Amino acid sequence: MENFTPVASLLGGVMIGLAAALFMLFTGRICGVSGIYGGLLHLKHGDTFWRFLFIAGLLAGGVLSMLLIPGAADIQMHLPMGTLILAGLLVGIGTRLGSGCTSGHGVCGMGRLSPRSIVASLTFLGAGIAVATFLSAYFQ
């Protein structure tokens, strides 16, 4: 494994879990990014500003990481652009069908031992493994 980073991975997981727990503690809401973003598409008075700040914080965190950690965003894709666009659309469709994403189901839902979230997360994981296996064989 050339990218084995157990300490950084553990630290990142702890930070995500802590952020999700604090978000629920202080707001009473599940920290599911697709649901938070989706709420911006259907504006409701008094329910928009915090969603905007949350998404802005995610984007700012990515930019900050790129500025502070050289090479953090050096990712090489070996797939055609059409395949990447199709993948993004399928993820969006899957998020709608599953009523949430990996942050809502995988982090928050499984942390609450929600059977629906456990099934959704296992489905996400299984589909991801199957697609990655197929694509790595197909594009080599």
Asked, for residue 86, whether it belongs to a domain, the answer is yes
Answer yes or no: are the C-beta atoms of 108 and 117 closer than 8 Å: yes
How high is the pLDDT of residue 96? 82
Asked, for residue 46, whether it belongs to a domain, the answer is no
Answer yes or no: are the C-beta atoms of 105 and 121 closer than 8 Å: yes
How high is the pLDDT of residue 64? 93
Asked, for residue 56, whether it belongs to a domain, the answer is no
How high is the pLDDT of residue 1? 53
Asked, for residue 2, whether it belongs to a domain, the answer is no
Asked, for residue 38, whether it belongs to a domain, the answer is no
Asked, for residue 130, whether it belongs to a domain, the answer is yes
How high is the pLDDT of residue 68? 92
How many distinct structural domains can be found in the chain?
Answer: 1
- Give the number of other CB atoms < 10 A from CB of residue 12: 11
Asked, for residue 62, whether it belongs to a domain, the answer is no
Alpha-carbon 56 to chain mean position: 15
* pLDDT tens for the chain, residues 1 to 140: 577 889 988 998 899 999 999 999 999 998 888 888 888 888 888 888 999 999 999 999 989 988 998 887 777 777 788 988 998 888 888 888 888 888 888 888 888 899 999 998 998 889 889 988 988 887 76
**Structural domain of residue 129, as residue ranges?**
76-140
Collect contacts of 32-41 with beta carbons under 8 A, ≥24 apart. Answer: 32/100, 32/101, 32/103, 32/104, 32/105, 32/108, 33/58, 33/101, 33/103, 33/104, 34/95, 34/100, 34/101, 34/103, 34/104, 35/100, 35/101, 35/104
Asked, for residue 136, whether it belongs to a domain, the answer is yes
